[in-house]
Amino acid sequence: MTPPTALTIAGSDSGGGAGIQADLRTFFAHGVHGLVALTAVTVQNSLGVQGFTEIPADVVTAQIKAVASDMGVNAAKTGMLATAEIIRAVAKTLDEVEAGPLVVDPVAASMTGHALLREDALEAIRTELFPRATLITPNLDEVGLLTGISVSDAASQRSAAEALLEFGSQWVLVKGGHMQGTAECVDLLSDGREFISLSGPRYETENTHGGGDTMASAITSSLAKGASVPDAVAAGKKFIERCVAEAYPLGAGVGPVSPFWVLD
């Protein structure tokens, strides 16, 4: 039996915890065949990102077309896109191929504060990619960069969701994981009509590298299998909670979240 397919358009993490490596292991954990359009090669370990080189935009386009024309894409996600030129190329190519629902994780920087996006590229994410997205999944740092809103409570989280939907995506998930001083991790999912608050436990761990990528690719996996956005997000939240609970130390810095529990 051929499994569903999901395409990740994202960067490589040499440390194996984020980027396409996180996406592929998450797709695998969901029984989904992972396809890849590589956008950048990062040099990084648990201590941080030392630098990156982007892939030429026409090569990113060619990878997407190659897999979409032959293998079929049931759902797609974008992660690190590195430059405005790559973002524009990805947006145009996704208009030309069948790639199913699109999850845009607006990756701007690593949790260690290193830029993963050239400076002029944030505007291209807002104007070129968000209008094509089924769902966008910013964390609170990315919400701040994209809207200027500093989320500190439920009211400002809702305002941020409304402001982000103005950019044209069908749904937005404002992830509350980075909110200070809350016992629970509350994410807000909205399409402008429904506002669905998803609450889960906050685990004490230093090792959260790759958490955003893993959640977005878990959601993409469920969409590839035909789930609705609210069901895919609810399942993605359960998946990432377990991955954070079972995160492991690796290297002297921040270790990765772990999907290995699916093997139990």
Number of residues that bind ligand PLP (CB under 6 A): 17
One-letter amino acid for residue 126 of the chain: R
Q: Which of residues 42-61 bind ligand PLP (CB under 6 A)?
A: 42
Q: Which of 157, 94, 84 is nearest to 126 (CA)?
A: 84
Residue 55 beta carbon to ligand PLP: minimum distance, rounded to whole angstroms: 12
10 Å CB burial of residue 162 (0-12, 13-18, 19+) is middle
36 is a site residue for ligand PLP (CB under 6 A)? no
Query: Which 68-87 positions form the footprint of ligand PLP (CB under 6 A)?
Result: 79-80
Q: Which is nearer to ligand PLP, 107 or 232 (CB)?
A: 107
Q: What is the dihedral sign for C-alpha 99, 2, 213, 252? A: negative
Q: Which is nearer to ligand PLP, 53 or 228 (CB)?
A: 53
Q: Count helices and strands (H / E) in the chain.
A: 8, 9
Beta carbon of residue 110, minimum distance to ligand PLP (angstroms, whole number)? 4
Which residue number places its CB atom closest to ligand PLP?
19
Backbone phi and psi for residue 24, each to the nearest 5 degrees, phi listed first: -65, -40
Pick the stretch among 57-65, 120-128, 208-216, 227-235 that binds ligand PLP (CB under 6 A): 208-216
Rounded to a whole number of angstroms, the minimum distance from the CB of residue 242 to ligand PLP is: 17
State yes or no: residue 18 binds ligand PLP (CB under 6 A): yes
How far is it, in rounded angstroms, from Cα 250 to Cα 247?
10
How does DSSP assign 205-221, residue by residue? -S--BTHHHHHHHHHHH
Q: Does 210 bind ligand PLP (CB under 6 A)?
A: yes
Nearer to ligand PLP, 101 or 210 (CB): 210
Collapsing DSSP to helix, strand or coil, 245 comes out as helix
Shortest Cβ 54–ligand PLP spacing (Å) = 11
